[in-house]
Structure 1
Amino acid sequence: MNTLSALPFSLQAILLLVASNFFMTMAWYGHLKNLATSPWYIAALISWGIALAEYLLQVPANRIGFQQAGFSVGQLKIIQEVITLAVFVPFSVFYLGQPLKLDYLWAGLCILGAVFFIFRGA
């Protein structure tokens, strides 16, 4: 038995979503640092390859989350948005060297509002 399958389905889905989001963030924004002088089509092809890894994690995450953990599609989407911001902010600041802005906090609070509304009564 592998370690992931020993975890509750909801945690399996969330961990897979975190991993998939790391790959997607790298695919979408990593080329700005790594391939800045390469032609756009080279960056696009490499990013597309990285995005494949994201899909190989995202699809099972959504299936586990929906079919086994009982999340609704809306809940899965909001979970993904929370994870997106949680992955993007450190990536942006530490990897791409962008300044940390207070706007990230406001965006996070808006997303927390979305979490409240999508999960209330669940």
Structure 2
Amino acid sequence: MRTILCLIASNCFMTYAWYGHLKKDTTNMPLIKLILISWAIAFFEYVFMVPANNRFGKQEGFSPFQLKTIQEIISLSVFFIFALVFLKEQFRWNYLVAFVFIIGAVYFMFIPSSK
């Protein structure tokens, strides 16, 4: 559970660092300033991501493939909410279909293998 919570927190920071500036007109802001602001926010992404992937995930028995899959699902889920709520993007039916296929991929990732 620590892994999931840390990945959620990490992805909230990452999503804001990458896409938060799209809400404002930053065309007059020097690019280096925008990059440095994003890096400062992304620092907190790593504060949560590194323990989630390198310590907690392994302790909780996740394989690297499973950790990456969990991270991507959380990343897409956080972005989905962020895009709808913060950026006021429109939801489209094909997004739902894509998410269903991704959930199918997660299902197959977690099927126990017969070693």
TM-score under structure 1 normalisation? Answer: 0.85
User: CA-atom RMSD, angstroms?
Assistant: 1.3
Q: Which amino acid aligns with 2:5?
A: L
- Output the CA distance in 2 between the equivalents of 1:52 and 1:34: 21
Q: Does 1:50 align with 2:44?
A: no
Q: Does 1:76 align with 2:77?
A: no
Q: Which stretches in structure 2 are left out of the alignment for 5+ residues? A: none
Within 5 Å, give how 1:72-111 maps onto structure 2: 72-111=63-102
State the shift of 1:35 in Å: 5.7
Q: What is the percent sequence identity of the aligned residues?
A: 51
1:16-58 deviations in Å (ceiling 9; x for gaps): 0000000000011001124624222211110011111000100
TM-score under structure 2 normalisation? Answer: 0.89
- Cα distance change, pair 49–17 in 1 and its aligned pair in 2 (3 A): same
Equivalent position of 2:57 in the other structure:
65
Runs of 4 or more, structure 1, over 6 Å off, are: none
Q: Does 1:19 align with 2:9?
A: yes
Report how many residues are paired: 111
Q: Does 1:118 align with 2:109?
A: yes
